Amino acid sequence: MLRRLLLIIFFITGGLIIKSQQTPVFSQYILNEFLINPSVAGIDGMTTVNLSGRKQWLGFQHTPETYSASINTRLLKSPFAVIKGKVKKGSEGHVGLGASLINDQNGAIHRTTFQVTYAYHVFINNSQLSFGLSGITTQFRIDEDLASLKTPDPMEGVIGKSAYIPDAAFGLNLSTVKVNIGFSVSQILQSPIKFGDLSVKPKDLQQIRQYCIYGYYRTGLVKNSNWEFEPSILIRTSEDLQYSSDISARFIYEKQYWTGLSFRTSGEFIMLLGLKLNRMYFGYSFDYGFNKISKLTYGSHEVSVSVKFGDSSRRYRWIQRY
């Protein structure tokens, strides 16, 4: 059934390329789902710190690059707390919190996004249903050293200036021992980018709502084997229904080492590598496409490092995020 579902989704999305993507694209989204779905903040009961960097089309100057730093945690159950001399009932372990900072540069456009997140987790039988809401502030800036405008141009006069845009994101996630399914929507407010008295109509600089659906399934390759197999799919779509998808497969050995391949419908193949050392997780991906630009470069590279902290006795041990 899972194989049939993946094939159906592949044929539906395989020929469609997203043209209105305004949010950064990550090849290793499984290593840090928090960057694409606010509901996973604190989902495994631990505190996770993640750093990542991505450079596209290595070999060219001023190509897109993205750097991120994030932290998320879970407020675990405690019997009570004493605050200002009064006894207050403690947390029941349902609340997750998180924050992230993403710096994205695409040509002359610089975008820095700060996000704070509140998540709420509910256990239902042998699964966990999670909800998340994020408040977002983004700074947009046009680099005056890289911008090249026609004369006259409506953008003239705002080069080097900054615009600050408020927005929000929402996410849902369902986790079981073997299956994880998530949905998120970002840029909910579709806020226009306003650079002072710029004469461009707001709709011409409108942020477009972005949707993301993903899921993966983990199972043992052979009974009593140390190897596990994890197929997954990620579908991105914008408000104007422009689609893109990643179809991936990972092989995981003793929950410590993994390798895999992804295919992106924009015409790229992605190699995935990773390992776990104690509390630390390291991931690397290499993207190579067969379009004209990719053939002239050394591909796209992404590196991710995560550290997990927390009392293992209070952790939700059946959830293995990596």
CA distance to 55, 117, 318, per residue, from 40 (Å):
25, 10, 15
Give pTM, 2 decimals. Answer: 0.80
Task: Look at residues 140, 66, 138 and name the one whose alpha carbon lies nearest to residue 103.
Answer: 66
* 59-88 burial code (b ≥16 CB/10 A, e <16): eeeebbbbbbebbbbbebeeeeeeeeeeee
Pairwise CA distance, residues 99 & 31, whole Å: 16
Task: Look at residues 98, 128, 104, 112 and name the one whose alpha carbon lies nearest to residue 33.
Answer: 98
Q: Which distant-in-sequence residues (6+ apart) come within 8 Å of 84 by Cβ?
A: none
**Averaged pLDDT of the chain:** 80
Amino acid at the residue 315: R
Contact between 234 and 250 under an 8 Å Cβ cutoff? The reply is no
Residue 10 pLDDT exceeds 60: no
Q: What is the pLDDT of residues 115-160, one digit of tens each?
A: 999 999 998 888 899 999 999 999 988 776 666 655 555 555 566 6
pLDDT-based confidence at residue 202 (cuts at 50, 70, 90): very low
- Please report the pLDDT score of residue 146 as a whole number: 63
The helix (H) or strand (E) run that includes residue 16 is none
User: Which residue do the tokens 């694409």 mark?
Assistant: 36
Q: What angle do CA 203, 67, 49 make, to 5 degrees?
A: 120
- CATH number, span 2-78+93-314: 2.40.160.40
Contact between 73 and 66 under an 8 Å Cβ cutoff? The reply is no
Q: Average of pLDDT values for 205-219?
A: 88
Residue 214 pLDDT exceeds 90: yes
| 23 or 145, higher pLDDT | 23
- Please report the pLDDT score of residue 211 as a whole number: 95
- Please report the pLDDT score of residue 19 as a whole number: 41
Domain boundaries, the chain: 2-78+93-314
Task: Look at residues 193, 266, 285, 290 and name the one whose alpha carbon lies nearest to residue 18.
Answer: 266
| 94 or 11, higher pLDDT | 94
pLDDT-based confidence at residue 197 (cuts at 50, 70, 90): low
Residue 225 pLDDT exceeds 70: yes
Residue 108 has which token pair?
């002359």
Q: Is 20 exposed, middle or buried (0-12, 13-18, 19+ CB in 10 A)?
A: middle
Q: Which distant-in-sequence residues (6+ apart) come within 8 Å of 5 by Cβ?
A: none
Q: Where are the alpha helices (DSSP H) in 136-209?
A: none
